A and B are shown apart, each in its own frame.
Chain A
Amino acid sequence: MKTSNLTFLLLLLTCLVYTGCDDDDGPSIMEPTTYSFERDGQTTVSFSGQTARIQMGEELISAMKNPAVSAATLLEMFRNQTESGGDANPFSSAALNDETKSIASKVAASEDFFSSNTATQAAIRAEFEAWINAQVSEVYPRWEELATAGIAGQIADGSSTRYVNAQGLEYNQLVNKSLIGALMLDQALNNYLGTAVLDAGMNRDENNDGIVATDKNYTTMEHKWDEAYGYLYGTSPSEASPVATTGDDDSFLNKYVGRVEGDDDFAGISQRIFDAFKRGRAAIVAGDYDERDVQAQLLREELSKVIGVRAVYYLQQGKNALAQATPDFGGGFHDISEGYGFIFSLQFTRQPDSRDPYFTHEEVNSMLDDLLGDGSNGLWDVTSTTLDNLSNMIADRFDFTVEQAGS
Chain B
Amino acid sequence: MRFLFSLLILASLLSYSSCDDDGGGSSTDNFDRAAMLLSWADQVILPAYADFLEKSSELQTSAQALFDEPDATTLAALKSSFAEAYLGWQSISLFQIGPAEQVGLREQVNAYPTNTDGIEANMQSGSYNFELPSQRSRQGFPALDYLLYGSAADETAVLDRIVNEAALREYILATSERIHQLVSTVRETWVSSYRQEFVSLSDNTATSSVNRMTNDYVFYYEKFLRAGKVGIPAGIFSGTPLPGHVEALYNKALGKQLLLAALESAQGFFNGLDNSGVAHGNGFTDYLDFLNTVKDGADLSQLINTQFEAARQAINNLDDDLSDQVREDNLLMLTAYDELQRNVVLIKVDMLQAFNISVDFVDADGD
The residues of A with any CB-CB pair to B shorter than 8 Å are 144-146, 154-162, 259, 262, 317, 324-326, 330-331, 338, 407
Question: Interface-forming stretch among B132-140, B176-184, B245-253, B328-336?
Answer: B132-140
In the complex, which residues of chain B have a beta carbon less than 8 angstroms from the beta carbon of A157? 133
Q: Is the CB of B134 within 8 A of A161?
A: yes
Pick the residue among B104, B107, B132 that contacts A154 (CB under 8 A).
Answer: B132
In the complex, which residues of chain B have a beta carbon less than 8 angstroms from the beta carbon of A160? 133
In the complex, which residues of chain B have a beta carbon less than 8 angstroms from the beta carbon of A154? 132-134
In the complex, which residues of chain B have a beta carbon less than 8 angstroms from the beta carbon of A325? 207, 212
- For window 195-240 of B, CB contacts with A under 8 Å fall at 207, 212
In the complex, which residues of chain A have a beta carbon less than 8 angstroms from the beta carbon of B362? 407
- Tell me how far the C-beta of B127 lies from the nearest C-beta in chain A, rounded to whole angstroms: 9
Chain B interface residue number, banded:
20 to 34
B101 within 8 A of A: yes
In the complex, which residues of chain A have a beta carbon less than 8 angstroms from the beta carbon of B132? 144-146, 154, 161
In the complex, which residues of chain A have a beta carbon less than 8 angstroms from the beta carbon of B365? 259, 262
In the complex, which residues of chain B have a beta carbon less than 8 angstroms from the beta carbon of A145? 132
In the complex, which residues of chain B have a beta carbon less than 8 angstroms from the beta carbon of A331? 364
Please encode chain B, from 355 to 367, with 1 for each CB lying within 8 Å of some chain A CB and 0 for all others: 0000010101101
Shortest Cβ distance from B98 into A: residue: A326
- Tell me how far the C-beta of B363 lies from the nearest C-beta in chain A, rounded to whole angstroms: 11
Q: Is the CB of A144 within 8 A of B129?
A: yes
Pick the residue among A156, A162, A262, A407 that contacts B136 (CB under 8 A).
Answer: A156
Pick the residue among A144, A158, A317, A338 that contacts B134 (CB under 8 A).
Answer: A144
B102 within 8 A of A: yes
B111 within 8 A of A: yes
Can you list 25 A-B contacts with CB-CB less than 8 angstroms, sorted by A residue number?
A144-B129, A144-B134, A145-B132, A146-B132, A154-B132, A154-B133, A154-B134, A156-B107, A156-B133, A156-B136, A157-B133, A158-B364, A159-B111, A161-B132, A161-B134, A161-B136, A259-B365, A262-B365, A317-B364, A324-B360, A325-B207, A326-B98, A331-B364, A338-B367, A407-B362
- Tell me how far the C-beta of A157 lies from the nearest C-beta in chain B, rounded to whole angstroms: 8
List the 8 closest pairs (A to B, CB-CB), nearest first.
A156-B133, A161-B133, A161-B134, A326-B101, A325-B207, A154-B133, A326-B102, A156-B104
Q: Is the CB of B131 within 8 A of A146?
A: yes
Shortest Cβ distance from A160 into B: residue: B133
Q: Is the CB of B107 within 8 A of A158?
A: yes
In the complex, which residues of chain B have a beta carbon less than 8 angstroms from the beta carbon of A259? 365
- Tell me how far the C-beta of A187 lies from the nearest C-beta in chain B, rounded to whole angstroms: 23
Please encode chain B, from 122 to 158, with 1 for each CB lying within 8 Å of some chain A CB and 0 for all others: 0000000101111011000000000000000000000
- Tell me how far the C-beta of A301 lies from the nearest C-beta in chain B, rounded to whole angstroms: 24
The B contact surface, by secondary structure, is: loop
User: Within the assembled complex, what's the spacing in Å between the Cα atoms of A146 and B104?
Assistant: 14
- Decide: A330 near B133, CB < 8 A? Known: A158-B107, A259-B365, A325-B207: yes
In the complex, which residues of chain A have a beta carbon less than 8 angstroms from the beta carbon of B101? 326
User: Within the assembled complex, what's the spacing in Å between the Cα atoms of A331 and B111?
Assistant: 18
User: Within the assembled complex, what's the spacing in Å between the Cα atoms of A157 and B367?
Assistant: 11
Q: Is the CB of B131 within 8 A of A159?
A: no
- Tell me how far the C-beta of B194 lies from the nearest C-beta in chain A, rounded to whole angstroms: 11
User: Within the assembled complex, what's the spacing in Å between the Cα atoms of A324 and B101?
Assistant: 11
- Tell me how far the C-beta of A313 lies from the nearest C-beta in chain B, rounded to whole angstroms: 9
User: Within the assembled complex, what's the spacing in Å between the Cα atoms of A311 and B273?
Assistant: 46
- Tell me how far the C-beta of A43 lies from the nearest C-beta in chain B, rounded to whole angstroms: 33
In the complex, which residues of chain A have a beta carbon less than 8 angstroms from the beta carbon of B107? 156, 158-159
Q: Is the CB of A159 within 8 A of B98?
A: no
Shortest Cβ distance from B106 into A: residue: A159
User: Within the assembled complex, what's the spacing in Å between the Cα atoms of A160 and B212?
Assistant: 23
User: Within the assembled complex, what's the spacing in Å between the Cα atoms of A161 and B104?
Assistant: 12
In the complex, which residues of chain B have a beta carbon less than 8 angstroms from the beta carbon of A161? 132-134, 136
Q: Which residue, of B102, B129, B365, has the highest number of chain A Cβ atoms within 10 A? A: B365
Q: Is the CB of A159 within 8 A of B134?
A: no
Q: Which residue, of A155, A324, A407, has the highest number of chain B Cβ atoms within 10 A? A: A324
- Tell me how far the C-beta of A122 lies from the nearest C-beta in chain B, rounded to whole angstroms: 31
In the complex, which residues of chain A have a beta carbon less than 8 angstroms from the beta carbon of B134? 144, 154, 161
In the complex, which residues of chain A have a beta carbon less than 8 angstroms from the beta carbon of B111? 159
- Tell me how far the C-beta of A146 lies from the nearest C-beta in chain B, rounded to whole angstroms: 6
User: Within the assembled complex, what's the spacing in Å between the Cα atoms of A154 and B101?
Assistant: 18
User: Within the assembled complex, what's the spacing in Å between the Cα atoms of A119 and B44?
Assistant: 66
Pick the residue among A155, A262, A324, A407 that contacts B133 (CB under 8 A).
Answer: A155
In the complex, which residues of chain A have a beta carbon less than 8 angstroms from the beta carbon of B104? 156
10 further interface pairs, Cβ-Cβ under 8 Å (given A146-B133, A156-B104): A144-B132, A146-B132, A154-B134, A156-B133, A158-B364, A161-B132, A161-B133, A162-B133, A326-B98, A326-B102
Shortest Cβ distance from A324 into B: residue: B360
User: Within the assembled complex, what's the spacing in Å between the Cα atoms of A9 and B213?
Assistant: 84
User: Within the assembled complex, what's the spacing in Å between the Cα atoms of A325 and B361?
Assistant: 13
In the complex, which residues of chain B have a beta carbon less than 8 angstroms from the beta carbon of A317? 364
- Tell me how far the C-beta of B20 lies from the nearest C-beta in chain A, rounded to whole angstroms: 14
User: Within the assembled complex, what's the spacing in Å between the Cα atoms of A331 and B98?
Assistant: 17
Q: Is the CB of B137 within 8 A of A159?
A: yes
User: Within the assembled complex, what's the spacing in Å between the Cα atoms of A331 and B367?
Assistant: 10
In the complex, which residues of chain A have a beta carbon less than 8 angstroms from the beta carbon of B360? 324
User: Within the assembled complex, what's the spacing in Å between the Cα atoms of A326 and B99?
Assistant: 9
User: Within the assembled complex, what's the spacing in Å between the Cα atoms of A160 and B129?
Assistant: 17
In the complex, which residues of chain A have a beta carbon less than 8 angstroms from the beta carbon of B367? 338
Shortest Cβ distance from B137 into A: residue: A159
- For window 160-204 of B, CB contacts with A under 8 Å fall at none
Shortest Cβ distance from B111 into A: residue: A159
User: Within the assembled complex, what's the spacing in Å between the Cα atoms of A161 and B107?
Assistant: 11
User: Within the assembled complex, what's the spacing in Å between the Cα atoms of A162 and B364?
Assistant: 15
Shortest Cβ distance from B223 into A: residue: A158
